[in-house]
Structure 1
Amino acid sequence: MNKTKFWTRNFVLITLVNFFMFFAFQLFPSALPPYLKSLGAPDSILGLLQGVITIATLLVRPFAGLALDRYGRKGLFIAGLIGMMLSTAAYRFFPVVAIIFVIRFTHGMVWGLSNTACSTVASDSIEKERFAEGMGYFSLASSIAMAIAPAIALSLGMKKNVLLALAFLIVSLLLAFLIKYQKVPHTQGLVKKKVAPYAKESILPSSIMFLIMITYGSIMTFLALYGAEKSIKGVGLFFTVYAVSMLITRPYLGRLVDRKGFGAGIWPGVILIPIALLILSVSSSLLAFLVCAVFYGIGIGAAQSSLQTMAIVKVPKDRTGAANATFFTGFDGGIGVGAVLAGFISAITGHSGMFAFMAVFPILAGVLYYVLLKYKKL
């Protein structure tokens, strides 16, 4: 088999769109809280920003997946990208706290549509035999964007972030017009038949991903505060090392999953992630934080490669959109629940105890995978 078969024109274009789109979106989680603070927002409502966008994204994903399978990819993808551009521009023109929360909710909805569409187009562009490897490269683009964007966002300030995000979204839109989209088959029964918004084949792997991503919600929300508590400077490097670890290992892990099966990615993930969190809970230096980032990056990359492949490869072609929506509902839901849960736990145990407690969730993910495998549910 040709080892570079998935590097088609379509796959390269959709991977670039994924990078620019993710970068534009990730400029705001770190830039918005200080911006709202400058507008007079109290600390008590700043934590709701993640909750608002998570709820909006979770509400729209199942319907986005259903619409992508029924009406096709191109129109909805383009509409989502235009919606992201309008939402991004609105931050600049409506500097009012209450209105920004409405904008954030809208931004979450169009993001849910765009991201689900983008992943579905990528799924259409990769052969099943090399799906894990291909999705590893595709999702690596978003991981790199997530690692770089927050630091740039904090250095630029809100107004420049809006301009940069708009520039990246314009590039995404132009590239999206160059993609050749898979046509959705139109059968007489397709419109009449009731179709579930979620793909049932994808629910179990998505549930495992949900448990794993609870840990990322805690790290994304509280790592900086934990570093400040320990008087450690440069904690932002954690996300850079995390991304580099995935960059180096993910293509190899994807090939391994394609050859050896899903367990080749899931077991390293559910072992390395708890180790990283337990080390983090007792770390008191930047070096220790970065060691955790290496373990965590490899673990997340391995688990996601397997679980996303598992969520999609067994689903019929006309249900790929629903499968992606199901997977990312678990992905986003885990991050949102993790952020909220970590806040409650850290109030009781402190940040160190909270990170140690978070190690329970990937272990539960491993137990769930083992049980489902034993009873042949996966």
Structure 2
Amino acid sequence: MDQTTTARAKGSRKPLWTKDFLITALANLLLFFSFQMLIPTIPIHLSQLGGNNVQVGLVIGIFTISSLLTRPFAGRALDILGRKHVLLVGLTICALTIAGYTYIAAVTLILAARFVHGIGWGLSTTSLGTVIADIIPPERRGEGMGYYGLSNTFAMAIGPLTGLWIMQSYGFSYVLLISTILAILSICSSLFIAYPKPIPPTNRAKSQRFTDRLWERSALLPSSLLLCTAICYGGIVTFITLFGHEAGIPNVGFFFFCNASMVLLVRPITGVLFDRKGPEWVLLPGAAFTITGLLLLSYANSNLSLAIAALCYGVGFGSIQPALQAWTISRAAPDRRGAANGTFFSANDLGIGLGAMVLGAIANWSGSYALMYRFSSTLIIVFLLIYGWSIWSYSLHKKAAH
């Protein structure tokens, strides 16, 4: 169904663990660690400055919106201007904004800074995803994306805990200092990447309308699948603490630790499986584990049952996301990888935002976070229906071609 099959058939495996792969993964790790340290600490800081619940919620919402709006333009800029310039601009915006939080004491100005920070985040993460797609050999794309994604997972597992510990021990100013240093180190690392030259656009790409150039149509299928899983994830990260209060589970942070541990374990395995067998061998089992994890979570009432739910969900989440990203890159033309990554990451941002809003409304209507998680599992059924339809339509097209 895509270019990975052709690449697998061509024979020799090129090296994956190159200097550029390691440096790009390091730059990504530093950026994500810097970002993850701020997720639990900025809302606390804002409330200490007198911000109300709505303003605390806007800290996440404004950031997500600006990042979402930026990604299509970031993808287009990557394909025209090249990877290096867009990445450096994005990382610089992130570093300057984080450093600027130190000197801002007004709630409204912090919210404005979060909008700017979201722009830098959209530019940086879309750029790094495109750079790593250029570096990874096509025949090892699933494996490479799986290993690359471990830098995100490690930061997600350790970054928030580190940020909270530093804030409680030394104060928020030290959180910002270390976060800024990490962002600067990410900039320094990115300077040592050997970026490929931009690929000239094809005649078809030149004739596209401006709006079509911002979005990559070949990325819409995997991005729509990602949207379904991202909505579910948005419901987890937003409401897991409130669900813990409802279910009588005191330490729901254990969910993220177990989830991240399983993601670290399965991503290298499922990446190799993607390269050798194709996306269906990863996406279908991943969907089954995701549904199981969500349903088990909805019935959890102890740390043990929460951990089992997290382990199942971690297998699904850890399998699906890198496989979809590798599939997105495989379906796109080389001169459209930036736009493809912009489309893919936009679906992720949109899904997390929708998960917070839509699933929150369902929880409010039903009066139960457990029911909300059971409802969210139906989105994975939608995932399976969309994927099943794509396989069926592809088989029909293949028969018609013969």
Bin the TM-score by the shorter chain.
over 0.9
How many residues are treated as equivalent by the alignment? Answer: 378
CA contact (8 A) 1:64 1:113 kept: yes
Give the corresponding residue for 1:167.
181
SS of structure 2 residue aligned to 1:32: helix
* Cα separation, 1, equivalents of 2:46 and 2:326: 39
TM-score for both structures, normalised by structure 1: 0.96
State the secondary structure of the residue aligned to 1:168: helix
Is 1:5 aligned to residue 15 of structure 2? Answer: yes
Within the candidate set 206, 218, 229, 1:201 is matched to 218
**Is 2:368 the partner of 1:368?**
no
CA distance in 2, matches of 1:32, 1:242: 24
| Structure 1 position 189, deviation (Å) | 6.4
Query: In structure 2, what is the equivalent of residue 50 of structure 1?
Result: 60
* Deviation (angstroms), 1:342: 2.0
Tell me what 2:166 maps to: 156
Matches within 5 A, 1:98-177: 98-157=108-167, 158-177=172-191
Preserved CA contact (<8 Å) 1:208 1:368:
yes
- RMSD (CA atoms): 1.9
Aligned with 1:183 (options 197, 200, 205): 197
State the 1:234 CA deviation.
2.6
Aligned partner (choices 316, 323, 333) of residue 350 of structure 2: 333
Name the CA distance, whole Å, in 2 between partners of 1:187 and 1:270: 36
Q: Aligned ranges for residues 278-297 of structure 1 at < 5 Å?
A: 278-297=295-314
Q: Does 2:78 match 1:68?
A: yes
Which shows bigger deviation, 188-197 or 48-57? 188-197
Identity in percent:
37
Contact 2:145 2:323 in 1 (8 A): no
- Asked whether the equivalents of residues 200 and 335 of structure 2 are also in contact (C-alpha less than 8 Å), the reply is no
- Distance of aligned partners of 1:306 and 1:162 in 2 relative to their CA distance in 1, 3 Å threshold: same
1:242 aligns with 2:252: no
Secondary structure in 2 matching 1:337: helix
Gaps of 5+ in 2: 1-10, 398-402
Determine if contact 1:26/1:146 at 8 Å carries over to the other structure.
yes
Q: Does 1:357 align with 2:371?
A: no
Unaligned residue ranges in structure 1 (runs of 5+): none
When residues 79 and 338 of structure 1 are mapped into structure 2, their CA distance, relative to the original with a 3 A threshold, is same
Q: Which range moved further: 298-307 or 227-236? A: 227-236
Q: Does 1:265 align with 2:275?
A: no
Give, in whole Å, the separation in 1 of the partners of 2:68 and 2:351.
11
Distance in 1 (alpha carbons) for counterparts of 2:298 and 2:187: 42
What TM-score do you get using the length of structure 2 for normalisation? 0.90
Q: Is the 8 A contact 1:263 1:306 kept in 2?
A: no
Q: How far does the alpha carbon of each residue in 1:130-161 deviate from its partner, in whole angstroms, 9 at most, with x for none? A: 10110011111111111211122222223222
